[in-house]
Amino acid sequence: MNDNIHRRAFLASAGAGMLAQDKPVGIAAIGVGNRGFFLMKEFQNLADVEIRVICDLYDGNLARAKEFSKNTRARYTEAGEEAIAAPGVDAVVIATPDFWHAPMALAAAKAKKDIYLEKPL
């Protein structure tokens, strides 16, 4: 009986520890064209969220994202795989053209990242 009490106390404290987050969630924004740029700006305004990596194939999109990024230490890359694998990235926001949705989402899932992806109708 005494072992059950200890186990329950441990599980309760472990669950509480997961809920109490002491650092921001690190986000990689993959694709910062029209919709992705909007999503990047919205996500960076959330409490306890930090955009750590910004990824796009087009220099103009990266330059615009850099101008509006609140994180001066954010990394910039043209490679989605690099963005997903970057240290400190907990989740990815994928706003790429449709044909990149599945490859990026699968790569993120294999890397055990949380994924935010919008699929158009």
Task: Kindly report, residue by residue over 5-21, the tens digit of the pLDDT.
Answer: 554 555 455 444 444 56
CB neighbour burial string for 65-91, b if at least 16 within 10 angstroms, e if fewer: beeebeeeebbbbeebeebbebeebbe
Average pLDDT over residues 89-104: 94
Domain 22-117 top-level CATH class: alpha beta
pLDDT tens for each residue of 20-51: 567 899 999 999 999 999 999 999 999 999 99
Predicted local confidence at residue 41, as pLDDT: 96
- Listed in sequence order, the DSSP H helices in 20-119 are 34-44, 59-68, 80-85, 98-110
**Residues 41, 42, 45, 50: is their CA dihedral positive or negative?**
negative
**Residues 8, 11, 14, 15: is their CA dihedral positive or negative?**
negative
98: tokens are 């449709």
Predicted local confidence at residue 21, as pLDDT: 62
Q: Could you tell me which of 18, 24, 31 has the C-alpha nearest to residue 84?
A: 31
Average pLDDT over residues 49-55: 97
Task: Locate the domains of the chain by residue range.
Answer: 22-117
pTM: 0.80
DSSP state of 24: P
Predicted local confidence at residue 22, as pLDDT: 77
Q: Could you tell me which of 68, 61, 57, 71 has the C-alpha nearest to residue 26?
A: 71
